[in-house]
């Protein structure tokens, strides 16, 4: 028993050692700026003006300029070092790029997305940014600077410091398949500028699917389309489950941004009904269900009915 317990203890120590070694091997290597920043001190934004006068001039019109922060190492007011880190060693390099001290500041273009995001999250951790760490953008290594630009914002008035004039243009630079959908008939004034992608989506993450600003697609849709909210005395199951069962929200070539034309949309579920399907399929036969609104000519309350006789959504 003694020998056995001794081997168990040795095995436990070996396992623990292996775990530690594994952690050390897989820990991310510090960036060049992090290594060089050791021992650096904050010297104030005034030291930056000597070489970066143009950047300093533009920063004075930046939403961050003179913003108050709580317990930030760089001081109570947002300045250059609030984002770029302590600059004493960089100042000592006196512009000599071959001096190791020159690269001791945070250069966001050279940083990994997670490292750059951690700098922004020093202040931006609440509100719209609360769910960033679990968002699809963060998990796909999308950096903050992919959408935002601190010193050369293209958005009107510098709002949100966007790299393009509108949030929709920023989104479509990556989501090209949505650009094609928006070029179809859309029920939302996205192309006209009446709203942006951020009206429905939170690019920094959310609790709902596809980073929408609600817990479900139906909740998001009915925040505007309140007449479709219900509850109804007679409910249409696909409507209750998900609006996207029938609609394509970004745009469609069909009426009311439907996923396909009626009656074929309805026939995806209603394959065997009292209505013969041949009346839909054969072009040589004429049916009132093939004209105008098709099935909804009669079933006008297709989203749900509160009429006592509205079981089939006729009224």
Q: Which two tokens stand for residue 79?
A: 């300045």
Helix (H, G, I), strand (E, B) or coil at 20: helix
CA–CA separation, 25 and 159 (whole Å) = 42
- What is the per-residue pLDDT for 68? 86
For the segment 41-91, what is each residue's pLDDT rounded down to a tens digit? 999 999 999 899 999 998 988 989 888 888 788 888 899 999 999 999 999
Backbone phi, then psi, for 212, in 5-degree steps?
Answer: -80, 160
- The Cβ of residue 294 has, within 10 Å, a number of other Cβ atoms equal to 20
Q: What is the pTM of this model?
A: 0.78
End-to-end CA distance of the chain: 82
Number of alpha carbons in the 13 Å side-chain half-sphere of residue 26: 6
Contact of 203 with 211, CB cutoff 8 Å: yes
Contact (CB, 8 A) for 112 and 118: no
Q: Which residues of the chain have pLDDT under 50?
A: 1-37
CA dist., res. 41 & res. 10, Å (int): 46
* DSSP 8-state assignment for residue 231: -
Cis amide bond preceding 263, omega within 30: yes
What pLDDT, on the 0 to 100 scale, is given for residue 188?
A: 72
What are the residues whose beta carbons fall under 8 Å from the beta carbon of 76, sequence distance 6 or more? 68, 69, 70
Q: Where are the domains of the chain?
A: 39-106, 126-214, 218-305
C-beta of residue 180 within 8 angstroms of C-beta of residue 174: no
């Amino acid at each position: 028993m003694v020998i056995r317990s001794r081997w168990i203890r040795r095995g436990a120590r070996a396992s623990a050692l292996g775990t530690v070694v594994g952690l050390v091997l897989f820990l991310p290597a510090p960036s060049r700026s992090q290594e060089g920043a050791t021992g650096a001190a904050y010297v104030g934004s005034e030291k930056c003006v000597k070489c970066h006068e143009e950047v300093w001039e533009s920063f004075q019109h930046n939403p961050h300029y003179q913003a108050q922060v709580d317990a930030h190492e760089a001081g109570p007011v947002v300045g250059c070092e609030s984002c770029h880190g302590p600059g004493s060693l960089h100042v000592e390099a006196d512009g000599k790029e071959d001096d190791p001290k020159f690269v001791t500041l945070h250069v966001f273009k050279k940083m990994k997305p997670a490292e750059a995001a951690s700098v922004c999250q020093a202040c931006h951790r609440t509100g719209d940014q609360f769910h960033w760490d679990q968002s699809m953008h963060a998990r796909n290594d999308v950096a903050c600077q992919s959408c935002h630009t601190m010193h050369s914002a293209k958005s009107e008035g510098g709002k949100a410091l966007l790299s393009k004039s509108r949030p929709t243009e920023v989104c479509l630079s990556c989501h090209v398949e949505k650009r094609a959908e928006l070029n179809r008939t859309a029920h939302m004034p996205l192309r006209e500028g009446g709203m942006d992608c951020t009206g429905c989506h939170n690019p920094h993450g959310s609790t709902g699917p596809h980073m929408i600003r609600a817990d479900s697609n139906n909740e998001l849709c009915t925040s505007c389309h309140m007449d479709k909210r219900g509850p109804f005395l007679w409910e249409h199951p696909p409507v209750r489950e998900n609006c996207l069962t029938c609609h394509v929200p970004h745009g469609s070539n069909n009426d009311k941004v439907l996923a396909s034309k009626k009656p074929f949309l309805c026939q995806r579920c209603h394959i065997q009904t009292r209505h013969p399907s041949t009346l839909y399929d054969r072009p040589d036969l004429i049916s009132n269900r093939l004209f105008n609104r098709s099935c909804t000519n009669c079933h006008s309350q297709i989203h749900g009915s509160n009429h006592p006789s509205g079981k089939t959504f006729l009224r």
